[in-house]
Chain A
Amino acid sequence: EAQVTQNPRYLITVTGKKLTVTCSQNMNHEYMSWYRQDPGLGLRQIYYSMNVEVTDKGDVPEGYKVSRKEKRNFPLILESPSPNQTSLYFCASSPRNENIQYFGAGTRLSVL
């Protein structure tokens, strides 16, 4: 089944404890992206990647890192999480020549 898989689905952590949210897609898509979704603010892009080893900042990159060493994986790293990073996070992917993005099921993160 074609899908974007995020792990974990739910995570509670404390301020300053480094964490990684994994994202993997099995559709051989070139483009991958991370979003956060907050009430009243909608979906905002954090980082995106056009292909392996190519990443760029989205609208709200502060406090986040990403890497794209393999085509299928695009992990989101929070080096020192803070409470304002409590949010619902989505990973998405799309083929290079299409505008349709396919989303994972989401990761709900709480930073205490």
Chain B
Amino acid sequence: QKEVEQDPGPLSVPEGAIVSLNCTYSNSAFQYFMWYRQYSRKGPELLMYTYSSGNKEDGRFTAQVDKSSKYISLFIRDSQPSDSATYLCAFQGAQKLVFGQGTRLTINP
């Protein structure tokens, strides 16, 4: 079983839609849960970061963590064409950051 599973997509939705991106993980030692966004021809940049179960909001973005189910999600409300990118979930354990495969998202105007 992989440590992290993420649907690679691609995912294409119309502008204004609510987007849900998901990852599952198997390693109970993961303590921090992150979402990175990667635009084409760029390096990943941190979008959201949390360490506890529950929801964390930042503008149109909500990160959700369910430690009991080992499941994390990223919700994007009122999606914009500028949100088109690859989204990678990431998990921090002891001195190690493990990434999901990334989901390629396209928001169509």
Give A contacts to B, CB under 8 Å: 4, 33, 35, 40-45, 48, 50, 58, 90, 92, 99-106
Contact between B41 and A101, CB atoms less than 8 A apart = no
A100-B46, A105-B42 known; A43 vs B34 contact (CB < 8 Å): no
A42-B100, A99-B34 known; A50 vs B95 contact (CB < 8 Å): yes
Tell me, yes or no, whether B71 is within 8 Å of chain A by CB.
no
Interface size on B, residues (CB 8 A): 21
A43: chain B residues at CB < 8 Å are 44, 88, 99, 102
Contact between A90 and B46, CB atoms less than 8 A apart = no
Total number of A-B contacts with CB less than 8 angstroms? 48
Contact between B88 and A42, CB atoms less than 8 A apart = yes
Tell me, yes or no, whether B97 is within 8 Å of chain A by CB.
yes
Contact between B41 and A42, CB atoms less than 8 A apart = no
Q: How far is the CA of A90 from the CA of B44 in the complex (A)?
A: 9
Contact between A99 and B88, CB atoms less than 8 A apart = no
Instruction: Produce 1/0 per residue, B16-42, CB < 8 A to A.
Output: 000000000000000010100000011
Distance between A72 CB and nearest chain B CB, rounded to angstroms: 17
Tell me, yes or no, whether B43 is within 8 Å of chain A by CB.
yes
